[in-house]
Amino acid sequence: MVRSVLLLELAVLLVLAWGSSRTGADEGRMMDSPTVVLQKLDAAITALEKAQDVPMNLTDCDKGLAAAVAGVNEAQLLMSSDELHLARHKVLAAKYNNAKCLQLLRRSTSVPYSTKTVVYNLTLQADQELEEIVAHLPIASQEAYNTTSWSATTDFNKALTKHLIDSSQDHQELVEYGTPRSTCAATVVDGTKCQYAECAKGRGLVSCAIGFAKGVVGGYYGISYTVTRDDDVPENPPAGSLRHGLNLAKDHAGGVWITFARDMVIELRGMMWVHSHTTVDGRGVNVTLQKHSLVVSGARQVILANFGINTVRGGDTVHIFADSSKVWVDHLTSFGGDLGLVSVVQGSTDVTISNCKLQNHNFNMLLGASDHDEQDRNMRVSVYRNHFLDSMQRMPHCRWGWCHVANNLYTNWGYYAIGARVKARVRTENNVFMPSRATEVTPWHPGAAASSFDMTARIESRGDLLMNGSTYHQFLLATHDVKPPYPSAEFPPLLGADRVYRLVQACAGQQTPDTVSACQSAST
């Protein structure tokens, strides 16, 4: 009851602080992120208190949970007085103390398995809620900074946003305490060769994620599942099938880590839904999905790694939508999607699409589906070291959010390579453009007035290698820096454009036992 009253008072104060100068639709929109913060605070403390109520006789774990509860309570009080930067530190401290309990539980041999499972699931849930609080605080302050006319709030949120986005030390704490520790040296985690390093075997793959999806764990804390059969029965998936394995994630808080027993081609008989805390790991074998889409809907913590998906009727090959977050799509080979290949739309964010080979007859990659989907204004997507080939357009096309397009190889596009609309912020960096049909990187209609185009998007090119007469047209160039909002410790490692061609040619797409050695050689 006390917590409910506190949260109600806090809601009023936050709405006053963040929304005092707005009415109508603007006010409703501005309440989104503060409301999320309040909901997540309540959910986190509920999970932590439930975990405290389970008798464990694990002293240090009990102390960690108590400290985490105290930290969340202090964060609530600090937020009620608009001390958001201090509140964030308290949330990070709570994450740290909660993570200590998680680690102790994993190592303990004295706690009964049933007790360990209950507490582990609760502390994992609390960690997820605290992670989202940290993610939504800068979004809320960024929204206020972009729209409010109240100078005091503007000044405060401007400083807060800079602190949250640029503070590598704070974000490194978040990464360290919120994900498994990497066993790979920094020189190995370069975005490409890490996946095949000794240190990244099995679930060590999570340490290789880069870009906006860095920190993703997928099914790291979940059960192991091996696909042994290549049939697909949507109505009642048999054990051993991929669909059965994906459905297991719904029944386990830690999710599922899926591998394959052998090479196989799986013809899907319907869309295949991927749930939160799922890893599909196709390394070491040659696996291809066909006929229908992989769909990530409202899910978080997803890794799709090293397989093929092609010839999809009536949709995209991989469709990420409905507020999905922390999704890493890596080393996929994809072609033949009726509506496109990988899409990230409708409020989804913190996605990395890396090391993929993407070839399609028309549309390729759509980031933000509609000019009316304002929920995409906080979308953050890294498009990294992919090979876009033989497609007409959208490699990618970005609306509303931040799109960082780096170290990719473009060959033989038919209309344009990269497009943007409605306030999108796009940086293309150290890419290689090698046209053989159209030469325009951005969409361009010779002779048309610039006023006929959406001029709200901002595209900035840095270090791109424009070959064979390829050009950027000025109407889409940014007039000022379009810096992707990575914490500085997470900016993905970039190769000079002169090294991109050889690496991406050898490493983009699904890697099989027959091809991985060529990629490893190109990565040195």
Q: Which residues are catalytic?
A: 394
State the burial class of residue 450 (Cβ atoms within 10 Å of its Cβ: 0-12, 13-18, 19+).
exposed
Beta strand 349-354 with 397-399 is unpaired
Half-sphere exposure of residue 509: CA atoms within 13 angstroms, side-chain side: 22
Q: Across the beta sheet with 366-367, what order do the strands follow? A: 272-274, 294-297, 316-321, 340-344, 366-367, 397-399, 419-421
Spatial distance between the Cα atoms of 234 and 272, rounded to a whole number of angstroms = 8
Spatial distance between the Cα atoms of 279 and 16, rounded to a whole number of angstroms = 42
Helix (H/G/I), strand (E/B), else coil: 513: coil
Answer whether 373's CB lies under 8 Å from 349's CB: no
Q: Which residue has the tokens 């997820």?
A: 128
Contacts of range 110-119, beta carbons closer than 8 Å, 24 or more positions apart: 110/57, 110/58, 111/56, 111/57, 111/58, 115/54, 115/55, 115/56, 118/51, 118/54, 119/51, 119/54, 119/56, 119/61
Spatial distance between the Cα atoms of 484 and 477, rounded to a whole number of angstroms = 15
Residues 6 or more apart from 446 whose CB is under 8 A from it? none
Q: Tokens standing for 344?
A: 């990230």
State the angle between helix axes of 32-52 and 84-107 in degrees (0 to 180), rounded to the nearest 10: 40
Q: Tokens standing for 490?
A: 């997470």
Strands (E), 401-447: 402-406, 409-411, 419-421, 425-429, 432-434
The angle subtended at Cα 401 by Cα 398 and Cα 404, nearest 5°, is 70
Strands (E), 222-321: 223-227, 256-260, 264-267, 272-274, 278-281, 287-291, 294-297, 300-312, 316-321
Q: Which residue has the tokens 């394959």?
A: 260
As a residue count, the chain comes to: 524
Answer whether 245's CB lies under 8 Å from 225's CB: yes
CA–CA distances in Å: residue 161 to residues 84, 352, 432, 487: 10, 22, 33, 11
- Of the chain, the end-to-end C-alpha distance in Å amounts to 60
Spatial distance between the Cα atoms of 175 and 131, rounded to a whole number of angstroms = 10
